[in-house]
């Protein structure tokens, strides 16, 4: 989830533990508001991944865990 206090360009990307780009989750302009990114790629293996969120000149990274089904 992320909250924008003003309209911003957002780039959200998912990386594996080796730093390789797995998928671009979002790359567009968003209006001010609260948003949730959802990811439904069933082909990735269980493990730890990192989602990088770039909003303007600010960058955030969050670890996510893909569990076995």
The residue to which tokens 């998928």 are assigned:
23
Higher pLDDT, 50 or 38: 50
Round to whole Å and give the CA distance between 67 and 57. 32
By CB atoms closer than 10 A (0-12, 13-18, 19+), residue 14 is: buried
Q: What is the pLDDT of residues 25-48, one digit of tens each?
A: 999 999 999 999 888 877 889 999
Does 24 score more than 90 pLDDT? Answer: yes
Q: What is the pLDDT of residues 58-69, one digit of tens each?
A: 999 999 998 887
CB atoms closer than 10 angstroms to residue 49? 20
Which pTM value belongs to this model? 0.84
Round to whole Å and give the CA distance between 31 and 45. 33
């Amino acid at each position: 989830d992320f909250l924008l206090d003003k309209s911003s360009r957002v780039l959200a990307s998912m990386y594996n533990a080796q730093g390789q780009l797995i998928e671009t989750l979002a790359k567009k302009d968003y209006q001010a508001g609260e948003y949730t990114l959802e990811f439904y790629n069933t082909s990735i293996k269980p493990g730890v991944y990192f989602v990088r969120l770039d909003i303007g000149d600010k960058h955030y990274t969050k670890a996510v865990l893909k569990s076995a089904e």
